[in-house]
Amino acid sequence: MTRRVAIVGVGYSDFRPATPDVAFHEMMFEAAVKAYEDAGVNPRKDIDSFIACSEDYWEGFSIFDEFVPDQLGAVLKPVCTISADGMYGVINAYLQIRTGAFDIVAVEAHSKASDIVNMWHVMAFAFDPIINRPLKMHPYVIAGLEMMKFLKDSGNTEEHCAMVVAKNKKNAMKTPYASYGSIISPEDVLTSETLFHPLKKLDASEFVDGAVVIVLAAEEVARKLTDTPIWIKGVGWCTDTPWLEFRDWSRAVYAEMAAEMAYKMARIHEPAKQIDFAEIDDKFSYKELQHMEALRLCRKGEAGLLVEEGVTERDGDLPVNPSGGFLGVGNPLEAGGLVKILEAVLQLRGEAGKRQVPKAEVAVTQIWRGVPTTSGAVVVLGRE
């Protein structure tokens, strides 16, 4: 069955670097209530399926999906848990609706990063347990090595990466859910503490707590619920090799292949001309440049030049991360992809306030699972 699918509701909790006064249950509930109100639906009566994106390692609980139904209004309803980023959850919801078995699906993802005592030890569990994990290296060593290789092969520079940080933190100043907005110069980035050469402290996003819920619906239902449905035009996902020893360190192959899949579905032949703005993964500054090239928003080696020329500014010809990206909003773990989609929906509806991108009709959103993985997803959204 061929059914168009739209996003009809979005909601999010307060995003903060630390939330000792709020439990994850409360964040999930707050985001869900807002999303259901936005969509005009009653979860107990109208929503057919619920998807929660959570990873037991982050949560500190085994079988975390036991905590999902009560907060989402999903008791005695189908609940699917995906141990991956929220963008994968949106793709799963899209596919569920396309089957014809469900008309309305809700997707939730959240971060309670401030509760994690030692983030780096948890991240280290993603390394190969025989070859890499015994080295006991900090996970960001991988980011430093990849940044070095990408800059060397692409011709982009550390200065270009610093410009990305300055741009995104400035954009975040106008984003109500951003925690790390500020006015800094590229020089501030270049002179910040070196983590793992050439990666500087300000090149890396900081973690943040928060929750997001997205409601999707089939076309016939979506048109009854809202006058501004945001259509999912294309989806794609890819996982490259998990082996550090065999991956391409200069390219985001996972993003290239996921984008190819999504663009084909969305009939996007010239992304740089057909896409109005992009919300892409920038957990590290160089990743924004690498992902721009992987998504064919520019030619290989030209991402830094576009940043330098102001093309990727909010008022530029191709805005990239008008929300401020993860460098400005913060890295919300598995909620990252939903934050990207949230911003794209608000922009396409014309509801982004002071950060509104003019004439926003088509957006590309993209996520990367983070070091040391090579997993990612892409969703193309449009007003029609």
Statement to judge: residues 136 and 283 lie in one domain: yes
Please check whether residues 172 and 319 belong to one and the same domain.
yes
Q: Are 39 and 134 in the same domain?
A: no
Task: Identify whether residues 159 and 181 lie together within a single domain.
Answer: yes
Q: State whether 142 and 222 are in the same domain.
A: no
Q: Which residue has the higher pLDDT, 308 or 66?
A: 308
- Give the structural domain span for 366: 126-202+232-382
Q: CATH number of the domain at 14, please.
A: 3.40.47.10
**pTM (predicted TM-score):** 0.97
- Does residue 215 share a domain with residue 254? no
Question: Into how many domains does the chain fold?
Answer: 2
Question: 330-371: per-residue pLDDT in tens?
Answer: 999 999 999 999 999 999 999 999 999 999 999 999 999 999
51 and 138 share one domain: no
182 & 143 share domain: yes
What are the backbone dihedrals phi and psi of residue 67, each rounded to the nearest 5 degrees, phi first?
A: -90, 0
Helix (H, G, I), strand (E, B) or coil at 249: coil
The mean pLDDT of the chain is: 97
Residues 6+ away with beta carbon under 8 Å from 232: 5, 6, 7, 90, 94, 216, 379, 380, 381
My answer on whether 358 and 236 are in the same domain is yes
pLDDT of residue 88: 98
pLDDT computed for residue 384 by the predictor: 87
Q: pLDDT tens digits for 94-115? A: 999 999 999 999 999 999 999 9
